[in-house]
Amino acid sequence: MTGREQEVQAALQTPDQIRVSRSDPNVYLFYKSEKVSRWVCAVAKRLNDEGFLITTYPTDAIKEGTKIWPK
């Protein structure tokens, strides 16, 4: 995702969808659409009242998990 920092920031600031990870309730997946059937996913974790970015990746599928933010 080098050079795509603006897309990652957009996913975190104005996501189309946010889901809670099925495996860790403190992990959130922020999805922002790029084009038809393509998203940028920013994975963040909340720990001790602080949040941090774990990873980002482009994807063609939204993972399962509890949706907490619909667009």
Give the chain's count of helices (H) and strands (E).
Answer: 1, 5
Confidence band, pLDDT 50/70/90 cuts, at residue 37: confident
Closest by CA to 59, choosing from 36, 46, 41, is 41
Alpha carbon 28 to its chain's center: 6
pTM, two decimals, is 0.89
**pLDDT score for 1:** 82
Measured CA distances, 57 to 10, 31, 43, 48, 49 (Å): 13, 10, 9, 25, 25
Residue 36 CA to residue 55 CA, distance in Å, equals: 22
